[in-house]
Amino acid sequence: MTVVSETLTDNIAWRSLSETGAQPRLSVLIPTFRDDPSALLKALDERGVEAEVILLDDGGGDAALVERMAKRIETMTLPARLVVLSSNEGRAKGRNRLARHARGGHLLFLDSDMLPDPIGFLARWTALAGDDVAVAFGGFTLDQTPHRPEHDLHRAMALKSDCTSAPERAREPEKHVFTSNLLVRRDVFDTVAFDEGFAGWGWEDVEWAMRVSALYPIVHIDNSATHLGLDTAQALAAKYEQSAANFARVVQGHLEVVRNYPSYRVAKALKPLPLRPLWRPMLKSIALCEAAPTPLRALAMRLYRAALYSDAV
């Protein structure tokens, strides 16, 4: 068993808060793995907000990046801490570790490739924390994401299924929960943490929301952040391939919920079709073909994902 060690960098404001024993209203928790979160940290550094920021380098092994992040943490106005891990723990374990460092009554999980959309983004979350909300998701957009041809497929898919308004998300509150912009009250997270049995990419946040929704209401608001980190078609396909085992874990634990999701229903419809090892790679080839129309590529990628998931239904 590998023992993961931590190296900590705290700024002056963090140490000052520790000396007074005061607790911030909000702890902003940001995991990163070989991504530079400088733009996000700069945008979050709002004066007069009762918040702290905790950044986790999840064993990325990039010494130059760690040095840049440490310098950014040290210059922040808000109390801030950098936690650098000796090796990678993964998405669920990393976020659980972040929560153990937090001192706030509410936790705000943000991905490192996000950028707040509205002015006063953190102040809005802090105000909602003051209202003692149990769980809330603020939504995400692509409003500030640069347009690049290699990201056309991911952009089209995200705009169709992920970039939705609060009323639309509220129809299936547990389905539209992502750790990219998620507020959780401390006692809620102490009761329901992320399942560390998930590995790789995908589904650990939705599965967490399935368990939470049985105990606490999930509120959806419009306090969005832009997702800057769109993937190429090849990278997106690789993530879906990683996520198949996680999807199987969700099916095993939450069949009554997930059976109503389109991803499950399509996977179930594809399962009986013969010669899956032959036509599944064809779907991937169409999705990766940049010469094909984007709507066709998006359809092929969704069917490819469902074909991967069909092994689990």
pLDDT at 48: 87
pLDDT at 277: 87
- Nearest-angstrom CA–CA distance, 194 and 100: 12
Among 206, 230, 254, which residue terminates a domain?
230
* Domain identity same for 220 and 270: no
User: Is 278 part of a structural domain of the chain?
Assistant: yes
* Domain identity same for 215 and 180: yes
Q: Which of 242, 155, 136 is nearest to 199 (CA)?
A: 242
Which residues neighbour 175 within 8 Å (Cβ) at sequence distance 6 or greater? 206, 209, 261
- Nearest-angstrom CA–CA distance, 115 and 189: 24
* Domain identity same for 189 and 278: no
- Its domain, for residue 304, covers 236-312
8 A C-beta contact, residue 136 and residue 218: yes
- Nearest-angstrom CA–CA distance, 112 and 252: 30
Q: Which of 8, 12, 18 is nearest to 84 (CA)?
A: 8
* Domain identity same for 125 and 181: yes
Which residues neighbour 156 within 8 Å (Cβ) at sequence distance 6 or greater? 294, 295, 297, 298
Q: Which of 90, 94, 187, 174 is nearest to 137 (CA)?
A: 174
* Domain identity same for 145 and 65: yes
Residue type, 81: R
User: Is 138 part of a structural domain of the chain?
Assistant: yes
User: Is 131 part of a structural domain of the chain?
Assistant: yes
Among 174, 209, 230, which residue terminates a domain?
230
Sign of CA dihedral 183, 189, 191, 196: positive
pLDDT at 1: 61
8 A C-beta contact, residue 137 and residue 165: no
* Domain identity same for 122 and 203: yes
* Domain identity same for 203 and 273: no
* Domain identity same for 29 and 145: yes
* Domain identity same for 49 and 68: yes
8 A C-beta contact, residue 130 and residue 25: yes
User: Is 1 part of a structural domain of the chain?
Assistant: no
Question: How far, CA to CA in Å, does 157 sit from each of 17, 184, 242, 300?
Answer: 43, 27, 18, 11
Within 10 angstroms of residue 154's Cβ, the number of other Cβ atoms is 23
Residue 243 has phi, psi (to 5 degrees) of -75, -10
- Nearest-angstrom CA–CA distance, 218 and 234: 34
Residue type, 40: L
What is the full per-residue pLDDT of the chain (313 aa) written as tens digits?
Answer: 678 899 999 999 999 999 988 899 999 999 999 889 999 999 999 888 999 999 999 988 889 999 999 999 999 999 999 999 999 888 889 999 999 999 999 999 999 999 999 999 999 999 999 888 999 999 999 999 999 999 999 999 999 989 999 999 999 898 899 989 999 999 999 999 998 888 878 899 999 999 999 999 999 999 999 999 999 999 999 999 999 999 999 999 999 999 999 999 999 999 999 988 899 999 999 999 999 999 999 999 999 999 999 988 8
Among 198, 230, 262, which residue terminates a domain?
230
Report which secondary-structure segment, H or E, holds 31: strand 26-32
User: Is 68 part of a structural domain of the chain?
Assistant: yes
User: Is 85 part of a structural domain of the chain?
Assistant: yes
Coil, strand or helix at 87: coil
Q: What is the CATH number of the domain that holds 210?
A: 3.90.550.10
* Domain identity same for 295 and 150: no
* Domain identity same for 215 and 190: yes
Per the structure, the count of domains in the chain is 2
* Domain identity same for 254 and 186: no
User: Is 120 part of a structural domain of the chain?
Assistant: yes
Which residues neighbour 72 within 8 Å (Cβ) at sequence distance 6 or greater? 38, 41, 42
Sign of CA dihedral 58, 161, 181, 71: positive
Q: Which of 90, 36, 84 is nearest to 61 (CA)?
A: 84
Distinct helix (H) and strand (E) counts, the chain: 14, 11
Coil, strand or helix at 183: strand
Coil, strand or helix at 114: strand
